[in-house]
Amino acid sequence: MTKDSQFQLMTTTEAAKLLRVSNLTIYRWIKAGKLPASKLGRNIRIKKTDLLGFVERNAL
């Protein structure tokens, strides 16, 4: 993984589309502490590497 992709931030909408789930599901995972996220002002951002790690940890 390149240095640039390590710090790529995604919105909750982008993450939801990538995983094919609803925005509400993303918010629930964040609130439950399952998916790391950062709040920047009023916006929530998710590191792409954190999202991919979440998928790997929760794959069937």
2-45: per-residue pLDDT in tens? 566 567 999 999 999 999 999 999 999 999 999 999 999 999 99
pTM assigned to the model = 0.84
Q: By the 8 A CB rule, do 8 and 40 touch?
A: no
Give DSSP secondary structure letters for 1-43: --HHHHT-EEEHHHHHHHHT--HHHHHHHHHTTSS--EEETTE
Whether the per-residue pLDDT at 1 is higher than 90: the answer is no
Its domain, for residue 29, covers: 3-57
Which CATH number is 28's domain given?
A: 1.10.1660.10
Number of domains in the chain: 1
42-56: per-residue pLDDT in tens? 999 999 999 999 999
